[in-house]
Amino acid sequence: MPKKRSGGGLTGTQQAAKFLGVSVLAGAVMAGIAMPAFGALGLAAKGTVEGFDEIPANLKTPPLSQRTTILDSDGGKIATVYSRDRTVVALKDISPYMQKAIVAIEDSRFYEHGAIDLKGVLRAVNRNAQSGGVAQGASTLTQQYVKNVFVEEAGDDPDKVAEATQQTLGRKIQELKYAIQVEEELGKKKILENYLNITFFGQQAYGIEAAAQRYFSKQAKDLTLAESAMLAGIVQSPTRYDPVNDEEEATKRRNTVLQRMAAVGAVSQQEADKAKAEPIALKVSRPKNGCITAVSGAGFFCDYVRNVFLTDPSFGKTREERGKVWNQGGLTIRTTLDPQAQNAAQESIKSHVYKSDEVATALTIVEPGTGKILAMGQSRPYGFGKNETQINLSVDQRMGGGAGYQPGSTFKPIVAAAALEQNIPVTQAYPSPYQMDYPSPISTCAGNYVNSSSEQVENEDESEVGPYAMKEAMAKSVNTYFVQMIAQTGTCPVSKLAGKLGVDRADGNKLSTGPAIALGTEEMSPLTMAQAYATFASRGTRCAPIAIGSITGPDKKSIPVPKASCERVMSEKTADTITALLKGVVEDGTGTAAGLSDRPSAGKTGTTDGRYAAWFTGYTPNMATSVWVGDPAHKKRMIDISIGGQYHDKVYGGDTPGPIWRDAMSGALSGRTVENFNDIKIPDPQKEKDPNKPGDSQGDPGDSQGDAQGGDNGGGGNSGNNGNENASSGQSFPGFPGSSSRGNHGGGGRNGH
């Protein structure tokens, strides 16, 4: 039984003997000498390696994780993202000083030995025996490279990293065999290049190019002798020799490297002494990683791009596969983001809503006919600080957004489009009283809706009393008109058209089937509404939103990306008719504050019950934009409130989201060709107005119906509670209940202008 020192460990001689036995054995075996008898010596411990010949000869070298660069549509950089900050460079792009420094300090006989340096092993044994411990290792640069490959392959999994770095006999022998393979297949120069690209240099910098940028803000090819020596010295212990946190220790280590370079003839003693005399002159570039660094407020779009990559099967069969590709990085992603549109969006947001306001705003611009997302911004910046957030208020929950917000009356054009597709004429009029019970029963996709609790709906203003036809009802955003319309069509055509338009709830749940859907009571995101309105702008062709135009991989080869997915979801006539209706909204309806002065535009306001959210969604032939303003937490009502330094007693879709939309669109479209809609003339039947009748304060000579308020039925001339004839105009209406004095606003029934 071996003797032990008083401290309980083996003596120096015993340690040396143990190290010699293992090292020489490993060295001999790994040198490729055919000595099968070694297996019989029992030195390959059970549970570590069964036999040298059973170790796979193929070293699976994973692609090195690198920076991914995200670009806008013009090629400008939006942001750089990475799991490990690394830029792979060729040996010719690495300073010769750096190459000499790393070889001198880590493996000075690198060009003289094979995968295993037996001379180095024996020298280490001798030194360790003299010191009574492990003062010197014997790993070659090639062996270190192999170990780094195992660590790189382990990624951020702590268990795999621990396994890759475990100091067992089996792991050492495995590394040695792989080192032989690497030496045979790659050669010295390629091994050195790979080593300098894979090695960790501290301060989140992986590889020499990232290290040169981090510490000296220069490229690896431009490193001086002193700078190269400092970086080479860091490798042994990135924490201990970190020049940012301990300049004195880093200087001592750098000078050790310089002296070693002189000792092995890599530089002259005079050159080494001159470099030693130089103080360490850092020019630190702080890590700039992730969407938080994005320019022009594009952090949320950057995050959306990441979510697109991780959720789209085009980039891998499983999320795990896609995540691995994303983390390995080295990608150049050119996106659809238009820099002019993005800048205009952010400038408009900043001028109308402060990040410190009690409420926030989000804005998304989509290109009709392609689905390209041109801009995406919000008032609360991307980040972790006060008045900042990482929740993308423009998108659905599964893509990094929140639970969505009721779009209010911006949903009404979808109801109108469904009705037009059901051959209901644009001149269709309804009694449209100020207040009424929800019609019942109403057909749905799953049967009939029955208003069992006498839920009611009412208009924004008591003066809004019909009858109205579609044009004026859309311009004034008359709630009771659209509830009566959905009663005639049923909710199924509306929900089916919404599905074709890609209009889904932001939380992923199904749309409800009740008649309140006509008033925009289902929570949605600005991107959803923008791409739906883009369908009207493109005359009925809906294109799913896309954010990625092209991707180039680390090998500079193109990676396939999802193509635009477009399909016709309504007739051109229906889409053009909706456009004509929505032009009326911005010309002399609730959205006049949003109208553009230099080109045709169309859009719709929306304000939810309780004023928790306000919207303006609209378009020109070449851009569709949706703006939401509200409290992301759905707690703050926009009454008696200051937004962007402007006081509001009540917020409407036209007075806050509308101007944001106008200014963003004006900037985004500046200098671009003016395009026209395909105009459709909506007939205005002769009205019979009586100025002495109550409720005639909103008379519009171009409207198709007289304002005939009268009696308890709210639709003067209605015969009884279900009258079918309007005495004023002589026009027939489907049977609807009249108004009631009850004040119940159930079912979200007051979503207004």
pLDDT in tens, 455-476: 889 998 899 998 999 999 999 9
**Is 79 strand, coil or helix?**
strand
pLDDT above 90 for 179: no
Phi, psi of 111 (to 5 degrees): -85, -5
Give the confidence band of 54 by pLDDT, cuts at 50, 70, 90: low
Residue 734: per-residue pLDDT: 46
Residue 349: per-residue pLDDT: 97
Give the confidence band of 121 by pLDDT, cuts at 50, 70, 90: low
**Is 251 strand, coil or helix?**
helix
> Over pLDDT 70: what percentage of the chain?
79
- HEC profile of 300-347: HHHHHHHHHHHHCHHHCCCHHHHHHHHHHCCCEEEECCCHHHHHHHHH
**Beta-bridge partners for 16:** none
Angle at 368 between CA 367 and CA 369, to 5 degrees: 115
Contact 750, 470 (CB under 8 A): no
Residue 587: per-residue pLDDT: 86
d(CA 326, CA 66): 10
pLDDT above 70 for 181: yes
d(CA 533, CA 413): 9
Q: Are strands 332-335 and 68-71 parallel, antiparallel or unpaired?
A: parallel
d(CA 351, CA 361): 12
Tokens of 140: 């070659």
Residue 398 class from Cβ within 10 Å (0-12 exposed, 13-18 middle, 19+ buried)? exposed
Q: Give the closest residue to 715 by CA, choosing from 466, 499, 392.
A: 466
d(CA 744, CA 519): 16
What letter would DSSP give residue 578?
H
Residues 486-507 as b/e (b if ≥16 CB within 10 A, e otherwise) read bbbbbbebbbebbeebbbbbbb
Give the confidence band of 120 by pLDDT, cuts at 50, 70, 90: low
d(CA 209, CA 242): 17
**Beta-bridge partners for 259:** none
Q: Which residues contact 521 (CB under 8 A, 6 or more apart)?
A: 406, 512, 747, 748, 751
Residues in the chain: 753
Residue 253 class from Cβ within 10 Å (0-12 exposed, 13-18 middle, 19+ buried)? buried
First to last CA, the chain: 93
pLDDT above 80 for 204: yes
Q: Residue 252: how many CA atoms within 13 Å on its side-chain side? A: 5
pLDDT digits (tens, 9 = 90+) for 423-448: 999 999 999 999 999 888 999 988 88
Q: Are strands 566-568 and 639-643 parallel, antiparallel or unpaired?
A: unpaired
Going from N- to C-terminal start, the domains of the chain cover 86-277, 408-517
Contact 262, 272 (CB under 8 A): yes
**Is 114 strand, coil or helix?**
coil
Q: Which residues contact 108 (CB under 8 A, 6 or more apart)?
A: 260, 264
Tokens of 353: 């809503």
Residue 722: per-residue pLDDT: 33
Q: Give the closest residue to 653 by CA, choosing from 378, 407, 342.
A: 407
pTM over 0.85: no
Residue 84: per-residue pLDDT: 85
Residue 512: per-residue pLDDT: 87
Phi, psi of 158 (to 5 degrees): -60, -35
Q: Is the peptide bond before 158 cis (omega within 30 degrees of 0)?
A: no
Residue 449: per-residue pLDDT: 86
Residue 12: per-residue pLDDT: 43
Higher-confidence position of 102 and 634? 102
pLDDT above 60 for 35: no
At residue 222, what is the residue type? D
pLDDT above 80 for 178: yes
Tokens of 652: 């409407």
Average predicted confidence (pLDDT) for the chain: 82
Residue 123: per-residue pLDDT: 59
**Beta-bridge partners for 643:** 646
Angle at 736 between CA 729 and CA 578, to 5 degrees: 70
Does domain 86-277 fall under CATH 1.10.10.10? My reply is no
- Helix crossing, 492-500 with 412-421: angle to 10°? 110
pLDDT digits (tens, 9 = 90+) for 706-742: 332 223 323 333 333 333 333 333 344 444 443 333 3
Which one of 14-18, 22-26, 375-379 scores highest in mean pLDDT?
375-379
> Over pLDDT 90: what percentage of the chain?
61
Residue 697: per-residue pLDDT: 33
Residue 116: per-residue pLDDT: 73
**Beta-bridge partners for 205:** 85
Q: Is the peptide bond before 685 cis (omega within 30 degrees of 0)?
A: no
d(CA 411, CA 413): 6
Query: What average pLDDT does range 346-372 have in this prediction?
Result: 97
Query: For 138-147, 584-593, 729-738, which range has the lowest pLDDT when averaged over its residues?
Result: 729-738
Contacts 24+ apart (CB under 8 A), 171-176: 171/48, 172/22, 172/26, 173/26, 173/29, 173/30, 173/44, 173/48, 173/49, 173/52, 173/55, 174/49, 174/55, 175/143, 175/146, 175/147, 175/150, 176/26, 176/27, 176/29, 176/30, 176/115, 176/116, 176/143
**Is 389 strand, coil or helix?**
strand
d(CA 340, CA 700): 39
pLDDT above 50 for 223: yes
Give the confidence band of 750 by pLDDT, cuts at 50, 70, 90: low
d(CA 19, CA 15): 6
**Is 561 strand, coil or helix?**
coil
pLDDT above 50 for 744: no
pLDDT digits (tens, 9 = 90+) for 406-420: 999 999 999 999 999
Q: Which residues contact 276 (CB under 8 A, 6 or more apart)?
A: 226, 254, 255, 258, 259
The CA dihedral of 119, 125, 128, 129, to the nearest 10 degrees, is -130
DSSP string, 392-414: -TTS-GGGT--S-B--GGGGHHH
